[in-house]
Structure 1
């Protein structure tokens, strides 16, 4: 799924930093499939596809050579800070497995995207109507990525939706969805952690 251009608005960033505690009192379902986002999982592509859930709690990831050393470091830091403290067992691999029954769960890469997007996530190998054996995440080669971007796209690869696809729907920048907002947000959030832990 696309992530819109960063919105550089000082007051919006400040609101995101101050509001997570109050927002966490609310609970929403933003784990695919939701009542508002439930397309069947299928083998997609960069130009035609969407995310699903990953197929197991052992989350293997590989970062292709198209990513800069700085981008790889940012992704590793986001995985360690946000996803390792969940029930997902995150493992960064030195090579990717692209076929067979034990494919690498997430392949990160850098490449061409529309100027409107920082990153895109899509399922490459659906195994059921809701589960995907391998997701691709492509970051726009024309932008640097930060931990919020890495958290956001990884969230899609494990099934987390935007706020307006949640049930009930919330604003795309509601702090309950943590880094799944459209603005830079540097935390996963209690609701997202609970969704991941309940699913995996």
Structure 2
């Protein structure tokens, strides 16, 4: 299915289904190679409400057996979110595949970034200021946006050189989902 036909199907599905969840493992375990391309920005996914551009859908799931499209939320953002976000805040824009379905583990790092100048100044600003200046779409950000930005900035402030403070001996962080709780737990690998 191409991006245009995918997006034409999204608005009708949004009205039908309130919530959904997607398991990344489904894509890894599928016998066909599936290339997930983000097509979440631009006019294909935009409606206007009160002269403000809003996304038609924030998250989308696809049933890989039927092709059904449905809205999806991702309440569990995974482990070490401030560390993972710090990588992007400091200039890395490459999207990495960090989950290995063959062994059921998530791997973070190792990586390094340069200290972020002015992080103290950013942390001293109001929530409204951070929302206005660190978001590309401040009118439509979810309520937790500023909290996540502050957590990330604090992490960067505390770990200016993650190759030294976070990834000692150049070791990545490994996590596996606990089968009982469903939470991510650190593991040695």
| Fold match by TM threshold 0.5 | no
| TM bucket normalised to smaller | under 0.3
Where is the helix percentage greater, Structure 1 or Structure 2? 2
**Greater length-normalized contact order (CA 8 Å, ≥ 6 residues apart):** 1
User: TM-score, length-normalised on structure 2?
Assistant: 0.25
